[in-house]
Copies of this chain bind each other. A is one copy, B any other.
Protein backbone atom coordinates (compact mmCIF):
# COMPACT_ATOMS: atom_id res chain seq x y z
CA UNK A 1 0.00 0.00 0.00
CA UNK A 2 1.75 3.09 -1.26
CA UNK A 3 0.65 6.14 0.68
CA UNK A 4 -0.58 9.20 -1.20
CA UNK A 5 1.91 11.83 -2.27
CA UNK A 6 1.76 15.15 -0.48
CA UNK A 7 1.30 18.36 -2.36
CA UNK A 8 4.86 19.28 -1.59
CA UNK A 9 6.21 16.02 -2.96
CA UNK A 10 4.16 16.46 -6.11
CA UNK A 11 5.74 19.86 -6.58
CA UNK A 12 9.23 18.49 -6.18
CA UNK A 13 8.57 15.75 -8.73
CA UNK A 14 7.03 18.16 -11.21
CA UNK A 15 10.02 20.46 -11.06
CA UNK A 16 12.52 17.63 -11.20
CA UNK A 17 10.78 16.46 -14.34
CA UNK A 18 11.02 19.85 -15.94
CA UNK A 19 14.66 20.29 -15.01
CA UNK A 20 15.67 16.86 -16.26
CA UNK A 21 13.72 17.00 -19.50
CA UNK A 22 16.93 17.65 -21.40
CA UNK A 23 18.41 14.61 -19.70
CA UNK A 24 20.71 16.40 -17.24
CA UNK A 25 20.22 15.49 -13.60
CA UNK A 26 18.71 18.39 -11.66
CA UNK A 27 20.87 20.20 -9.13
CA UNK A 28 19.86 20.98 -5.57
CA UNK A 29 20.26 24.70 -6.14
CA UNK A 30 18.20 24.83 -9.30
CA UNK A 31 15.42 22.95 -7.61
CA UNK A 32 15.61 25.21 -4.59
CA UNK A 33 15.31 28.27 -6.81
CA UNK A 34 12.28 26.88 -8.63
CA UNK A 35 10.54 25.79 -5.48
CA UNK A 36 11.35 28.94 -3.54
CA UNK A 37 12.87 26.93 -0.79
CA UNK A 38 16.28 26.83 0.88
CA UNK A 39 18.78 24.43 -0.71
CA UNK A 40 19.10 22.58 2.57
CA UNK A 41 15.40 21.82 2.48
CA UNK A 42 15.78 20.33 -0.96
CA UNK A 43 18.54 18.02 0.19
CA UNK A 44 16.31 16.78 2.95
CA UNK A 45 13.40 16.13 0.65
CA UNK A 46 15.54 14.40 -1.94
CA UNK A 47 16.87 12.01 0.65
CA UNK A 48 13.33 11.26 1.63
CA UNK A 49 12.13 10.74 -1.94
CA UNK A 50 15.05 8.44 -2.67
CA UNK A 51 14.27 6.39 0.42
CA UNK A 52 10.54 6.14 -0.28
CA UNK A 53 8.98 2.69 -0.41
CA UNK A 54 9.01 2.62 -4.15
CA UNK A 55 11.84 5.15 -4.61
CA UNK A 56 10.67 8.21 -6.50
CA UNK A 57 14.08 9.58 -7.42
CA UNK A 58 17.63 8.46 -7.91
CA UNK A 59 19.86 10.60 -5.81
CA UNK A 60 23.53 10.43 -4.92
CA UNK A 61 25.17 13.12 -2.85
CA UNK A 62 26.55 15.99 -4.91
CA UNK A 63 25.43 14.40 -8.15
CA UNK A 64 21.98 15.77 -8.73
CA UNK A 65 18.72 13.91 -9.00
CA UNK A 66 16.65 12.12 -11.63
CA UNK A 67 13.24 10.48 -11.54
CA UNK A 68 12.57 6.78 -11.26
CA UNK A 69 9.74 5.14 -13.20
CA UNK A 70 7.43 5.69 -10.26
CA UNK A 71 8.56 9.28 -9.86
CA UNK A 72 8.10 9.94 -13.54
CA UNK A 73 4.56 8.64 -13.51
CA UNK A 74 3.69 10.79 -10.54
CA UNK A 75 5.26 13.82 -12.18
CA UNK A 76 3.40 13.29 -15.43
CA UNK A 77 0.15 12.90 -13.55
CA UNK A 78 0.62 16.30 -11.94
CA UNK A 79 1.70 17.89 -15.21
CA UNK A 80 -1.31 16.41 -16.99
CA UNK A 81 -3.54 17.90 -14.32
CA UNK A 82 -1.83 21.24 -14.61
CA UNK A 83 -2.03 21.51 -18.35
CA UNK A 84 -5.55 20.20 -18.66
CA UNK A 85 -6.60 22.69 -16.02
CA UNK A 86 -4.94 25.57 -17.83
CA UNK A 87 -6.70 24.53 -20.99
CA UNK A 88 -10.02 24.26 -19.22
CA UNK A 89 -9.66 27.64 -17.53
CA UNK A 90 -9.03 29.28 -20.88
CA UNK A 91 -11.43 27.36 -23.09
CA UNK A 92 -14.33 26.86 -20.72
CA UNK A 93 -14.09 29.70 -18.23
CA UNK A 94 -12.67 32.50 -20.32
CA UNK A 95 -9.38 33.08 -18.54
CA UNK A 96 -6.55 34.60 -20.56
CA UNK A 97 -3.34 32.64 -20.95
CA UNK A 98 -1.48 34.85 -18.51
CA UNK A 99 -3.97 34.24 -15.71
CA UNK A 100 -4.02 30.48 -15.52
CA UNK A 101 -0.70 29.39 -14.10
CA UNK A 102 -1.24 30.16 -10.43
CA UNK A 103 -4.75 28.82 -10.41
CA UNK A 104 -3.67 25.58 -12.04
CA UNK A 105 -0.77 25.23 -9.59
CA UNK A 106 -3.21 25.12 -6.72
CA UNK A 107 -5.86 22.99 -8.36
CA UNK A 108 -3.51 20.39 -9.83
CA UNK A 109 -2.98 18.72 -6.46
CA UNK A 110 -6.59 18.33 -5.44
CA UNK A 111 -8.64 17.27 -8.45
CA UNK A 112 -9.74 13.65 -8.70
CA UNK A 113 -9.20 11.34 -11.62
CA UNK A 114 -12.89 11.74 -12.22
CA UNK A 115 -12.49 15.48 -12.57
CA UNK A 116 -9.48 15.06 -14.81
CA UNK A 117 -11.43 12.71 -17.07
CA UNK A 118 -14.44 14.98 -17.26
CA UNK A 119 -12.57 18.11 -18.24
CA UNK A 120 -10.46 16.13 -20.71
CA UNK A 121 -13.66 14.92 -22.33
CA UNK A 122 -15.26 18.35 -22.26
CA UNK A 123 -12.19 19.72 -24.03
CA UNK A 124 -12.05 16.94 -26.61
CA UNK A 125 -8.86 15.39 -25.23
CA UNK A 126 -6.50 18.17 -26.25
CA UNK A 127 -2.79 17.44 -26.49
CA UNK A 128 -1.55 20.97 -26.00
CA UNK A 129 -2.39 23.58 -23.38
CA UNK A 130 -2.96 27.30 -24.09
CA UNK A 131 0.79 27.92 -24.14
CA UNK A 132 1.26 25.06 -26.57
CA UNK A 133 2.87 22.81 -23.98
CA UNK A 134 2.25 19.14 -24.61
CA UNK A 135 -0.24 17.42 -22.33
CA UNK A 136 0.71 13.93 -21.19
CA UNK A 137 -1.87 11.40 -22.36
CA UNK A 138 -4.28 9.68 -19.98
CA UNK A 139 -1.94 6.68 -19.78
CA UNK A 140 0.84 9.04 -18.70
CA UNK A 141 3.12 9.15 -21.67
CA UNK A 142 4.52 12.45 -22.82
CA UNK A 143 4.28 13.00 -26.57
CA UNK A 144 7.58 13.70 -28.32
CA UNK A 145 8.39 17.35 -28.67
CA UNK A 146 9.34 18.29 -32.23
CA UNK A 147 9.91 21.98 -31.69
CA UNK A 148 13.02 24.10 -32.05
CA UNK A 149 13.69 27.37 -30.25
CA UNK A 150 13.00 30.46 -32.28
CA UNK A 151 16.48 31.64 -31.28
CA UNK A 152 18.00 29.07 -33.63
CA UNK A 153 16.29 30.44 -36.76
CA UNK A 154 18.05 32.71 -39.23
CA UNK A 155 16.84 35.28 -41.79
CA UNK A 156 14.79 33.79 -44.56
CA UNK A 157 13.34 31.01 -42.46
CA UNK A 158 9.68 30.93 -41.65
CA UNK A 159 7.97 28.83 -39.07
CA UNK A 160 4.82 28.17 -37.04
CA UNK A 161 4.81 28.84 -33.31
CA UNK A 162 4.19 25.64 -31.40
CA UNK A 163 4.62 26.71 -27.81
CA UNK A 164 5.69 29.48 -25.49
CA UNK A 165 7.63 28.38 -22.47
CA UNK A 166 6.82 31.10 -19.96
CA UNK A 167 4.57 31.77 -17.01
CA UNK A 168 5.35 35.38 -16.27
CA UNK A 169 2.02 37.16 -16.85
CA UNK A 170 3.67 40.35 -18.08
CA UNK A 171 5.71 38.53 -20.70
CA UNK A 172 2.68 36.52 -21.75
CA UNK A 173 0.53 39.60 -22.16
CA UNK A 174 3.28 41.26 -24.15
CA UNK A 175 3.62 38.31 -26.50
CA UNK A 176 -0.13 38.18 -26.92
CA UNK A 177 -0.11 41.86 -27.88
CA UNK A 178 2.50 41.16 -30.53
CA UNK A 179 0.51 38.19 -31.79
CA UNK A 180 3.18 35.68 -30.84
CA UNK A 181 0.93 32.81 -29.86
CA UNK A 182 0.76 29.11 -30.74
CA UNK A 183 -0.38 28.36 -34.27
CA UNK A 184 0.81 31.67 -35.68
CA UNK A 185 3.03 31.91 -38.76
CA UNK A 186 6.19 33.98 -38.47
CA UNK A 187 9.16 34.83 -40.63
CA UNK A 188 12.65 35.83 -39.59
CA UNK A 189 13.96 38.80 -41.53
CA UNK A 190 17.13 39.78 -39.71
CA UNK A 191 19.65 38.57 -37.19
CA UNK A 192 22.15 40.54 -35.21
CA UNK A 193 25.23 38.52 -34.54
CA UNK A 194 26.32 40.49 -31.48
CA UNK A 195 23.27 40.74 -29.29
CA UNK A 196 21.51 37.77 -30.87
CA UNK A 197 18.41 39.78 -31.64
CA UNK A 198 16.06 38.43 -34.27
CA UNK A 199 13.71 40.52 -36.34
CA UNK A 200 10.51 38.63 -36.74
CA UNK A 201 7.61 39.39 -39.02
CA UNK A 202 4.24 38.49 -37.61
CA UNK A 203 0.78 39.80 -38.55
CA UNK A 204 2.44 42.00 -41.21
CA UNK A 205 4.51 43.79 -38.62
CA UNK A 206 8.15 43.37 -37.65
CA UNK A 207 9.47 43.14 -34.12
CA UNK A 208 12.99 42.84 -32.78
CA UNK A 209 13.18 40.12 -30.17
CA UNK A 210 16.03 39.50 -27.74
CA UNK A 211 17.41 36.14 -26.65
CA UNK A 212 15.33 36.27 -23.53
CA UNK A 213 12.25 36.06 -25.67
CA UNK A 214 13.46 33.94 -28.58
CA UNK A 215 14.62 31.12 -26.34
CA UNK A 216 11.14 30.88 -24.86
CA UNK A 217 9.29 30.58 -28.14
CA UNK A 218 9.43 27.17 -29.82
CA UNK A 219 8.50 26.64 -33.42
CA UNK A 220 8.18 24.17 -36.23
CA UNK A 221 10.28 25.37 -39.14
CA UNK A 222 8.55 25.45 -42.53
CA UNK A 223 10.26 23.38 -45.19
Which of A93, A102, A115, A118 is most buried by chain B, counting CB atoms within 10 A of its CB? A93
Q: Are B94 and A114 in contact (CB under 8 A)?
A: no
Contact B110 A122 (CB under 8 A): no
List the B side residues contacting A93 at CB < 8 Å.
115, 118-119, 122
Tell me the bound Cα distance from A40 to B119 in angstroms: 41
Q: Is the CB of B118 within 8 A of A112?
A: no
How many monomers of this chain does the complex have? 2
| A107–B111 CB distance below 8 A | yes
CB distance from A123 to the nearest CB of B (A): 11
**At the interface, yes or no: A176 with Cβ under 8 Å from chain B?**
no
Quote the shortest CB–CB distance from A173 to chain B (angstroms). Answer: 16
A180 to B107 Cα, complex, angstroms: 33
Give the chain B neighbours of A111 by CB distance below 8 A. 103, 106-107
The verdict on A103 contacting B112 (CB below 8 Å), with A93-B119, A118-B93 known, is yes
* Interface 1/0 per residue, A82-125 and B, CB below 8 Å: 00000001001111000100110011011110110011001000
* Those of A1-24 within 8 Å (CB) of chain B: none
**A93 CA to B111 CA, complexed, in Å:** 13
Cα distance A109–B92 when bound, in Å?
Answer: 21
Which among A106, A110, A115 has the highest number of chain B CB atoms within 10 Å? A110
The reply to whether B107 and A110 contact each other, CB–CB distance below 8 Å, is yes
* Neighbouring B residues of A112 by C-beta, 8 Å: 102-103, 106
Contact A103 B114 (CB under 8 A): yes
User: From residue A90, how far is it (CB to closest CB) to chain B in Å?
Assistant: 11
Name the residue on B nearest A108 (C-beta): B110
Q: A93-B118, A93-B119, A118-B94 are in contact. Are A106 and B99 (CB under 8 A)?
A: no
Task: Name the residue on B nearest A102 (C-beta).
Answer: B112
Instruction: Report 5 cross-chain contacts, Cβ distance below 8 Å, ordered by A residue.
Output: A89-B115, A92-B92, A99-B114, A102-B112, A107-B107
Further contacts, 6 of them, CB under 8 A, given A103-B111, A107-B107: A89-B115, A95-B114, A106-B110, A106-B111, A109-B110, A110-B110
Residues of A within 8 A of B (CB): 89, 92-95, 99, 102-103, 106-107, 109-112, 114-115, 118-119, 122
